[in-house]
Amino acid sequence: MMVTKGALGAKARAIAALALVTCLTGCSGMLLDPQGPVGLQERQILYNSLGIMLVIVVPTIIATFWFAWWYRADNKRARYLPDWAHSGRVELVVWSIPIVVILFLGGVIWVGSHRLDVFKPLDSKIKPVEVQVVALDWKWLFIYPEQGVASVNKLVMPAGVPVHFTLTSASVMNGFFVPQLGSMVMAMNGMATQVSLQADKPGTYYGESTQFSGDGFSGMHFEVDSVPAAQFAQWASGAHGAGPVLDGAGYAELSKQSEDVKPFTYRAVDPRLFDAITTQKLPSAPGPQVGRPDATVSPRSES
C-alpha cells in the first residue's frame, strides 16, 4: 500500500497537535492553573523567571542562526580569521549578560521567598481555619481542633477563607503539596512546621505526597474539597454524627501501615493527640522496611 507525502504530513500534524493538547491539559490542571493567592504568586514567579531567562535564550538562538547564515561558504563578505584568539568586547558581552540575568533571578527569588514565607499568615481579615496534618504510612490525617473532628485522605476547607496548617509526620519525612493552592511543605517526624493556604472558590483539587516514603507511596494522595463556608459548617456538624473516636487507641490502629485507604471521618478527636504525636509521646511508625511483610489494607479502604 502506498502512502503519499500529503498523508504522512497530515499524520505528523495530527500527532504534533495531540502532543501539544496533552501537554497543555497537564499544565492547565496543576501549577499553571492556580486557585488561590499563594498559587497565583508562585505562578507569577515562574513567569518572571522564564521571562528573565529568555533574555539569554532568545538572542542565543537568533545568534546561532545568524552565524550559520553569515559564515556560509558562499558569503564573500564574511571575514576569515584563522588566527583570531581573543576579543575584550566579546568577553564583556559573554560575561555581563549572564551576570545581569543571575542578579535579576536572585532578586525574584529573594522577594518571593520573603513574600511567600510559610510562617507568614495570609493577608486577610477573615479568621483562618486551623487544620493539623499528620503524614502516616501511607495516608494523610487531617485534624480540625476547633471543630473537634478529623478526616483521613480528604481535606475539606471553606472557600475564600485562609487555612492555617500545622504539619508533622508520624513516620518518615513526607512532602505535603496541593499544586493548585501552592507551597509544597515538608512534614518531618518529631517536629511541626506550618503553612497558610486558601482556595478562592469552590472546587475539588488534587493533593499528594511529594517525598518517596516506601511501598504505599504511589497511593498516598488526597482529595481537597473547597466548599462554601455554610457547607463547611454542615460537613463538620455531619462528621460529629458518624465514625469512630480518634483517641490513643484509635490512633494506634490508624497508624498501622495500610495502602489505598478510602476517605473517612472521626466524630471526635482527643485535643492532645497532635501534640502527643509531635512530641513523640505516642510511638512513631516504623516506616518502610526492607523485607517486611506486605502492608495490610485498612478495613475502611473496602467500605
d(CA 114, CA 47): 18
User: Quick one: pLDDT at residue 59?
Assistant: 87
220 φ, ψ (degrees, to nearest 5): -90, 70
Same domain, 198 and 174: yes
- The answer to whether residue 9 is domain-embedded is no
The answer on 142 and 263 residing in a single domain is yes
Place of cell 490542571: 29
Q: Which domain holds residue 222?
A: 129-284
Q: Find the CATH number of the domain harbouring 109.
A: 1.10.287
**Cell 504530513 identifies what position?**
9
Amino acid at 114: H
What was the pLDDT predicted at 27?
A: 45
pLDDT tens track for 108-144: 989 888 888 888 888 889 999 999 999 999 999 999 9
Within a domain: 22: no
* Residue 102 CB contacts under 8 Å (≥ 6 apart), including other chains: none
- How many domains, in total, are found in the chain? 2
pTM of the full structure: 0.76
Cis peptide leading into residue 66 (ω within 30°)? no
For residue 270, is it within any domain? yes
> Would 11 be classed as within a structural domain?
no
Q: Which of 73-82, 218-227, 263-272 has the lowest mean pLDDT?
A: 73-82
Q: Report the C-alpha gap between 165 and 129 in whole angstroms.
A: 8
For residues 68 and 173, state if they share a domain.
no
List, for residues 226-259, the tens digit of each pLDDT value. 999 999 999 999 998 888 999 989 999 998 988 8
* pLDDT digits 0-9 by tens, 279-292: 988 888 777 775 55
DSSP assigned state of 189 = B
Beta bridge pairs of residue 187: 174
- Tell me the DSSP string of 59-88: HHHHHHHHHHHHT-TT-TTS---TT----H
6: in domain: no
Residue 5 in grid coordinates: 507525502
Report how far residue 153's alpha carbon sits from residue 158's, in angstroms, rounded to the nearest whole number.
17
- Is 303 domain-assigned? no
102 and 233 part of one domain: no
So what's the pLDDT on residue 3?
A: 43
Place of cell 576579543: 87
Q: What angle do CA 63, 69, 73 make, to 5 degrees?
A: 135
Give the separation between CA 174 and CA 292, rounded to whole angstroms.
20
- Residue 240 inside a domain? The answer is yes
* One domain, residues 137 and 189: yes
